[in-house]
Structure 1
Amino acid sequence: MSLAFTDIVGLEAAKQALLLLAVNPALAGVAIAATVGSGKSTLARAFAALLPEGAPFVELPVNVTEDRLLGGLDLEATLATGARAIERGLLARAHGGVLYADGLNLLDRSIVAHLMEALASGVVRVEREGLSAAHPARFVLVGAYDPSDGEVPRGLLDRIGLIVPFAPQTDARLRAEVVRRNQLRKGEAEAGALPSASSRLRNEAADDETHMLRAMIADARARLPHVRVHDEQVQALIQAALSLGVEGNRADVFAAQAALAKAALDGRDRVDDDDLRLAVRLVLLPRATRLPEANESYQAQDEQPRAPEEPGRSERDEPNGAPQVQSEQLEALLLSAAEAELPKDVLNLPFAMQQRGRSGSRGAALNNRRGRFVRAVEGDPHGNRIALLQTLVAAAPWQAVRRAGTRSSAQLAIRKEDIRIKRFRDKAGMLYIFAVDASGSMAINRMREAKGAAIRLLQDAYVHRDQVALIAFRGGRAQVLLQPSQSVERAKRELDVLPTGGGTPLASALLTAWELAQQARGRGIAQVTLVLMTDGRANVGLDSQASADKAGLQREIQQLAALLRAHGVRAIVIDTQANYLSRGEAPKLAEWLGGRYVYLPNARAEQIAKALT
């Protein structure tokens, strides 16, 4: 039998946070930091029993795919009808209830982005592979994580109201009680299927407590719209947030909502000081980025002359029943309580750690075998992993035609053109080196179109947070216009002013690209892709002798291409030569590089961008 919410020993702050969330869904979620084996997952699942009747409790696996998260094609219905049918994902299934994620800090970045969007909008949108749908997805998020495994993304923490920071369990009595209860349950389980009388009594007591908590939560939910928080109390929360270095306005709203939920749960219609203290503890303190200043300001407040009281009026009462306490006094009260709970090193709090260590995220590398599956493309199944679902989707509309004339109506006919292979994105960085031919022959052969295609490719690389370098080659040698960077604007400026004319030092471009690739590997960038935009008509070598000898120039280029290929540099050659002028130089260059060949004059920039995948 699973443990009841009240049976779980310890984790008191987490229990308080979950009860507030059950009362007030406007808090959006709870993030619980605790070590492995602390009972955080057991507590979250026990929380499901406190939800209103019919409210879903959906678990989000750490390795969840985007298809399962957002929803996608209902394969069985699609194959049966020949028309695409959409299946709801986990976000939509959690609508009206709880989405539980254990390992919140281990979720993939794209999954976190979809989760943040659903929390903000309350809707999950499916726009992929010809599918288009929108499902309601208003849920509260209960997340648990072990801080030793890394940080939870700042943006996700910013969208949920309650954060329970890590606190090591140092109470020996509580730990002993956990062991005692575990041994008791283990002994009863080994004794046989029939529970003892004492076990039945404990289970009945736990059921009674669960029913009582559900009734309390239901009553608090009904009371919540009528609970009032005074302006001075809100001002005190805001000032406390500023003193603790809490950024953004969401925290202020969440703090007020937490105080309202606590008052409703206690059966009151007005917020009091204890409610504010709990809001500071669960909302503001975990977001603190600095210690509050010394208490001189509070002492100065006490020395200020007090306004005379009106006859017959209590010091703490107003006609409307709101407490007559200055926001400065409340702020001092809240900060004094906060200081008592702040860790000695405030930089260990999650928001302070992320503020201290902020840095741009590196892109991920596309590859054929490992990492996170990001898309399916047409391709050869040999040496690649087949995307089965996408292959069936491509084949489904043609089944009626293909079955015609066959004996078995149940036979599934899949052809070569239906095959889709998987593309993955791993955590290693990727560098795109754009080498643009600016020679005289290139100026004749659609330099403007080449620049447009390059800009589109740069933008696509930026979306995936990849780094970009830009090489131009003309005259006697190649030149690095842009060192590896994520700035599309800088690359666009360099392309806009790129001069043209002169010889075609293709060998120098290949050597420069190899040098950039080696430097990138030294910085830990795992994969490098060279995008060559050229007509392939080289006429300038690394030295004057090679330039004079056409065969020697060809050998030089062939050797450099083999060097790039041997070092694992992926290559894409975009041919800018008109068909009637072409002698097959660019296709031959792509062959030497072991890369992909794309013909620019017959392709739009969008089509060329797909070559990067």
Structure 2
Amino acid sequence: MTPDPEPGRALRADALWADALWTDALRIAALAGADPHGCGGVWLKAGPGPVREAWLDALRAALPPGARARRMPVGIADERLLGGLDLAATLAAGRPVIQPGLMAEADRGLVVVPMAERLGAGTAARLAAALDTGAVAVAREGLAAQLPARFGLVLLDEGVDAEAAPRALTERLAFHLDLTGLGPRDLAGAPSPDAPAAAEEAAPEAGPEAVAALCGTAEALGIAAIRAPILALRVARLAARRAGREAPGEADIVEAARLVLAPRATRLPQGDAAPEADPREPRSAQEPQAPPEPQPPGEADDAQAPEADAPEGRTRDLDAIVLEAARAAIPPGLLALLAGGPLRPRIAPQAGRAGAAAASASSGRPAGSRPGDPRRGRLALVETLRAAAPWQRLRRAGEGGATPGRIRVRPDDIRIARYRQRTETTTIFAVDASGSAAHERLAEAKGAVEILLAESYVRRDRVALVAFRGPGADLVLAPTRSLVRAKRGLASLPGGGGTPLAAGLDAALALAEAVRRGGGTPVVVLLTDGRANIARSGAAGRARAGEDALAAARAFRAAGQRAILIDTAARPQDTARRLAAAMAARYLPLPYADAGMLSTAIRGAGQAA
């Protein structure tokens, strides 16, 4: 074996990468802290630990004097987030007094959101509206006001790769930062992010061509959101202002492209997928799978500066400079993914159960309050006092002003608590175990069902298994959470015989109705090729069996039962398509349905049920 001519070369490359990443992270903290609302904020992928806390300390230190960073509690209520009636001040003053919410308290500062991958859609929508308008509207409990809320958002994403923060928020944040590869030892020795390089001081001013360069770079990297180049231009102007320049120069545009556009790339620029090898370069430089070594911001900007010996003394085109800088700044992990082709947008799975939301009178997640009788629900004492507080002065005057310390509560003021909870989802697998399916795809269908069974178990949902073959249908597995029992029942499922498709549909629908009567959310997953040959009466014959199957499918539609039909044939069958249309079910051919698609389809059907 030939010895490595440079021992420790990989170690030095990792150290350079860590120094460059932490330098960029500190620069992002300086820019985001200087103008939190203008930058939108930062989407930070990092687990709890010293690295994340060190970066958050740098971000807080960069905030303007008097600005605060407020941490948003997980599962925050709308009243605390938006604001409402200050009960104590209202009772003391005898008039409605507004209590600002968390977003108004963070005006000109930051809102830090932990566990952003689990943020609810409603809370994300309220945060996004405040980011767009810079204000929060308080319209509740007799109040109507608009409070300033010009804050920046820091999303602390602790999820795995399949999970992500809400896209409605991440596309509004200028910076996407991933620190998962850094350790505490990588934080020492990084240069100061505020020390301007020589190239920045001598950079010429850039006019309207800066907008074209940023938009062209975004298009070349496959960034469809128009907010990305707008945020990049804001960052370039902010960097120029901090350096004492009236307009952004070339280095500012390059830095904005590196920090804002590069992490958002969904494809490599044309011509970069398979670069041709240059015989003048060493062998290590010709390997396309090896990402370029990242450089600290100062070195990267110097590398992109106009060359003195350019042809005919002209500087390189600004569009090419910005695109090249953004291409070199794509994170190594993302670069490896883009080498395999453009990325497709993914829908992150929601944590927890996928059942439909249902109102509850006594249990579940709090969902506000409403007027009502406390004998038919839980009394919401605080909300009742809030409803009565604005009227105390009038009610005391009507009673002659006696006993000023008492609070007058009338029946119209009484509020009862509202709760909302997710119902339990039961996924019913109806599997065609007849001869045609056994000869074609029954083994592959079992494998797909096992994957779905495991995912249902992770969500703590129940699963059931109905198999139809020969003369009729059998309940192989009653609704259960036991993954072992489910796999055992699936493994012992035999194949062969006729296809009593109508009997299988009737058995699956009967079980779904029983689950629904018990307060659950049933989702039927039918695996079949759609070719029936046994009628409901047990007689053989394709014509009659097909009619009975379509009649059973129409019963699904009439009952409003959500279903997914997975075509298990080697090629998509028209019979299966017609059956899915009659059921109003989603049709998925098995050759094109992977585990992610099936899981997303089942989750979507459960939420819409």
Contact 1:18–1:47 (CA<8 Å) still a contact in 2?
yes
- SS of residue in 1 equivalent to 2:330: helix
Aligned to 1:50: 62
1:313 CA displacement? 12
5+ residue gaps in structure 1?
1-7, 179-208, 300-311, 431-510, 526-613
How far apart, in 2, do the equivalents of 1:367 and 1:347 lie?
A: 50
How far apart, in 2, do the equivalents of 1:252 and 1:97 lie?
A: 23
Please show how residues 75-224 of structure 1 align to structure 2 within 5 Å: 75-148=87-160, 150-169=163-182, 173-174=185-186
Q: Structure 1 pair 238/74, CA: closer, same or farther in 2 (3 Å)?
A: same
Letter in 2 for 1:17: I
1:160 CA displacement? 1.3
Q: Structure 1 pair 39/140, CA: closer, same or farther in 2 (3 Å)?
A: same
Letter in 2 for 1:240: T
Aligned to 2:334: 342
Q: Is residue 226 of structure 2 the alignment partner of residue 249 of structure 1?
A: yes
- SS of residue in 1 equivalent to 2:144: strand
Aligned to 1:374: 367
Identity percentage of aligned residues: 31
Please show how residues 149-548 of structure 1 align to structure 2 within 5 Å: 150-169=163-182, 173-174=185-186, 228-265=205-242, 271=248, 275-295=252-272, 324-325=316-317, 327-328=319-320, 330-338=322-330, 342-346=334-338, 354-355=345-346, 364-382=357-375, 384-397=377-390, 399=392, 401=395, 404=399, 408-414=403-409, 417-428=412-423, 517=516, 521=520, 523=522
- SS of residue in 1 equivalent to 2:386: helix
Contact 2:204–2:250 (CA<8 Å) still a contact in 1?
no
Q: Is residue 68 of structure 2 the alignment partner of residue 69 of structure 1?
A: no
> 1:355-407: CA deviations, max 9, x gaps?
35599x98633223344432211234357433222200233355454794897
How far apart, in 1, do the equivalents of 2:244 and 2:94 lie?
A: 57
How far apart, in 2, do the equivalents of 1:9 and 1:232 lie?
A: 28
Residue of 19, 23, 26 corresponding to 1:15? 26
Aligned to 2:454: none
1:18 CA displacement? 1.5
How far apart, in 2, do the equivalents of 1:9 and 1:290 lie?
A: 23
Contact 2:51–2:182 (CA<8 Å) still a contact in 1?
no
Contact 1:31–1:162 (CA<8 Å) still a contact in 2?
yes
1:256 CA displacement? 2.3
Q: Structure 1 pair 173/28, CA: closer, same or farther in 2 (3 Å)?
A: closer
TM-score with structure 2 setting the length: 0.52
1:329 CA displacement? 5.6
Aligned to 1:205: none
How far apart, in 2, do the equivalents of 1:371 and 1:227 lie?
A: 61
Letter in 2 for 1:335: R
Q: Structure 1 pair 246/256, CA: closer, same or farther in 2 (3 Å)?
A: same
Contact 1:285–1:342 (CA<8 Å) still a contact in 2?
no
- SS of residue in 1 equivalent to 2:160: helix
Q: Structure 1 pair 76/289, CA: closer, same or farther in 2 (3 Å)?
A: same
> 1:178-206: CA deviations, max 9, x gaps?
9xxxxxxxxxxxxxxxxxxxxxxxxxxxx
How far apart, in 2, do the equivalents of 1:357 and 1:105 lie?
A: 9
Letter in 2 for 1:105: E
5+ residue gaps in structure 2?
1-18, 277-307, 426-509, 525-609
- SS of residue in 1 equivalent to 2:346: helix
Contact 1:33–1:165 (CA<8 Å) still a contact in 2?
yes
Letter in 1 for 2:381: L
Q: Structure 1 pair 327/429, CA: closer, same or farther in 2 (3 Å)?
A: farther
Contact 2:250–2:318 (CA<8 Å) still a contact in 1?
no
Q: Structure 1 pair 409/348, CA: closer, same or farther in 2 (3 Å)?
A: farther
> 1:547-567: CA deviations, max 9, x gaps?
xxxxxxxxxxxxxxxxxxxxx
Q: Structure 1 pair 516/64, CA: closer, same or farther in 2 (3 Å)?
A: closer
1:65 CA displacement? 1.4
Letter in 2 for 1:75: L
Letter in 2 for 1:386: L
How far apart, in 2, do the equivalents of 1:131 and 1:325 lie?
A: 56
> 1:590-612: CA deviations, max 9, x gaps?
xxxxxxxxxxxxxxxxxxxxxxx
Q: Structure 1 pair 348/34, CA: closer, same or farther in 2 (3 Å)?
A: farther
Contact 1:74–1:85 (CA<8 Å) still a contact in 2?
yes
Contact 2:68–2:110 (CA<8 Å) still a contact in 1?
yes
TM-score with structure 1 setting the length: 0.52
- SS of residue in 2 equivalent to 1:18: helix
How far apart, in 1, do the equivalents of 2:258 and 2:519 lie?
A: 45
Q: Structure 1 pair 236/397, CA: closer, same or farther in 2 (3 Å)?
A: closer
> 1:254-293: CA deviations, max 9, x gaps?
1222233344445666656654454334322332233444
> 1:508-533: CA deviations, max 9, x gaps?
xxx999569359935369xxxxxxxx
1:338 CA displacement? 3.1
How far apart, in 2, do the equivalents of 1:126 and 1:12 lie?
A: 41
- SS of residue in 2 equivalent to 1:147: coil
Contact 1:347–1:353 (CA<8 Å) still a contact in 2?
no
Q: Structure 1 pair 15/143, CA: closer, same or farther in 2 (3 Å)?
A: farther
How far apart, in 2, do the equivalents of 1:16 and 1:248 lie?
A: 24
How far apart, in 1, do the equivalents of 2:367 and 2:47 lie?
A: 31
How far apart, in 1, do the equivalents of 2:340 and 2:155 lie?
A: 19
Q: Structure 1 pair 140/253, CA: closer, same or farther in 2 (3 Å)?
A: same
Q: Structure 1 pair 112/333, CA: closer, same or farther in 2 (3 Å)?
A: closer
How far apart, in 2, do the equivalents of 1:234 and 1:35 lie?
A: 35
Letter in 2 for 1:60: M
- SS of residue in 1 equivalent to 2:224: coil
How far apart, in 1, do the equivalents of 2:273 and 2:345 lie?
A: 30
Aligned to 1:186: none
- SS of residue in 2 equivalent to 1:295: coil
Contact 1:244–1:291 (CA<8 Å) still a contact in 2?
yes
Aligned CA RMSD, in angstroms, stands at: 4.7
Letter in 2 for 1:20: L
How far apart, in 1, do the equivalents of 2:213 and 2:136 lie?
A: 37
Letter in 2 for 1:521: G
Q: Structure 1 pair 268/40, CA: closer, same or farther in 2 (3 Å)?
A: same
How far apart, in 2, do the equivalents of 1:30 and 1:251 lie?
A: 13
Q: Structure 1 pair 344/519, CA: closer, same or farther in 2 (3 Å)?
A: farther
